[in-house]
Structure 1
C-alpha cells in the first residue's frame, strides 16, 4: 500500500512541476489549496464517528482543525502574493481539491495510518519545495516586505491555533520572526515540518488512544513541573 501511495504522490509532484514550471507563487497556491483537503477529510470522518457515538477524540479534532487553519493562512499568503491571480490556476486547484477530498475520506475510514502516511509525503514535499525556494531566492526575499496576513498570523494575532500545530513543543511554543518575506517563507517551511511530525506521530498503532494536542501536552507539563517544585 505504501508503494502505491508513494507512486501517486510522485506522479502528482511530477504533474505540478511540469504544469507550473518556474511560476513559483502559482505552484505554491496550488499546493496550499490542496494541502488543506486531507485535514477536512479527517475532520469529516471524525465528526461522523462522533455523531454515531462510535468514537470521540477531542484532541485529534483540535489538531486537525488547527492544521486546516494553518494551511488556510499559507493559502492567504500565496493569494496576497498573486498566486491565485489567474482563473485557470484557481479552477485547476479547486477541482483537484474536491476530487482529493473524496479520495482521502474512504482511505481514512478504512486505513487511517495510510491516510496519515499520504499526508506525511505531501507535507514532506512541501517542506523541501519551500526550502529549495528559500535557498535559491534568499536575497530577493529578504528585500521584500512581509504581507500583513502573515504578520497577523505569526506575530500579532491570537496564536492559539498556530501553537496547536507544534507537535511535542516541550515547555515553549515557537515564536518566529516576520520581518520580511524571507522570514515568512521560513515560517511556512517550518510549519510543514510540524505537519510531518504530527503525521508521523499519528501513524503509531497506539496513536488513536494516546495522542494529545500540543496545548494539552503543554498544560500537563506545567502541572507536573509545579508539582515537582512543591
Structure 2
C-alpha cells in the first residue's frame, strides 16, 4: 500500500513541478489549496464518528482544525503574493482539491494510518519545495517586506491556534520573526516540518492525540 501511495504522490509532484516550474507563487498557491484538503477529510470523518457515537476523539479534531487554520494562512499569503491571479490556476487547484477530498475520506475511514502516511509525503514535499526556494532566492526575498496577512498570523494574531501545530516538547514554543518575505517563507517551511512530525506520530499504534503535538 505504501508503494502505491508513494507512486501516486510522486506522479502528482512531477506534474505540478513541471507545469509550474517557472511560476513559483502559482505553484505554491496550488499546493496550499490542495495540501489542506486531507485535514478537511479527517475532520469530516471524525465528526461523523462522533455523531454516530462510534468514538470520541475531540483532541484529534482540535489538532486537525489547527492544521487547517495554519494551511489557510499559507494559502492567504500566496494569494496576497498573486499566486491565484490566473483563473486557470484557481480552476485547476479547486477541482483537484474536490477530487482529493473524496479520495482521502474513504481512505481515512478504511485505513487511517495510510491516510496519515499520504499526508506525511505531501507535507514532506512541501517542506523541501519551500526549502529549495529559500536557498535559491534568499537575497531577493530578504529585500521584500512581509505581507500584512503573514504579520497578522505569525506576530500580531492570537497564537493559540499557531501553538497547536507545534511539536515542541516543553512550554517554549516557536515565536517566528516576520520582518521580510524571507522570514515568511522560513516560517511556512518550518510549519510544514511540524505537520510532517505530527503525521508521523499519528501513524503509531499507540498514538494519543491529546498529547501528540506536544510530546514528539
TM superposition score normalised by structure 1: 0.91
Computing the radius of gyration from Cα coordinates, the structure with the larger value is 1
Which blocks of at least 5 consecutive residues in structure 2 are unaligned? none
Which blocks of at least 5 consecutive residues in structure 1 are unaligned? 219-230
Shift of 1:123: 0.1
Ranges of 4+ aligned residues in structure 1 off by more than 4 Å: none
Q: Check if 1:79 corresponds to 2:79.
A: yes
Shift of 1:172: 1.0
Mark the CA change 1:198 to 1:102 in structure 2 (over 3 Å): closer, same or farther: same
- The residue that corresponds to 1:179 in the other structure is 179
| Residue 211 of structure 1, aligned match among 209, 212, 215 | 209
- The residue that corresponds to 2:111 in the other structure is 111
- The residue that corresponds to 1:164 in the other structure is 164
Asked if structure 2 preserves the Cα contact closer than 8 Å seen for 1:163 and 1:214, the reply is no
Asked if structure 2 preserves the Cα contact closer than 8 Å seen for 1:164 and 1:213, the reply is no
| 1:162 match: secondary structure | helix
Asked if structure 2 preserves the Cα contact closer than 8 Å seen for 1:169 and 1:214, the reply is no
Q: How many pairs does the alignment contain? A: 215
* Alpha-carbon distance between aligned partners in 2 of 1:4 and 1:34, rounded to the nearest angstrom: 19
- The residue that corresponds to 1:225 in the other structure is none
- RMSD across aligned positions (CA): 1.2
- The residue that corresponds to 1:46 in the other structure is 46
| 1:137 match: secondary structure | helix
After superposition, what is the alpha-carbon deviation per residue over 1:121-156, rounded to whole angstroms, capped at 9, x for unaligned?
A: 000000000000000000000000000000010010
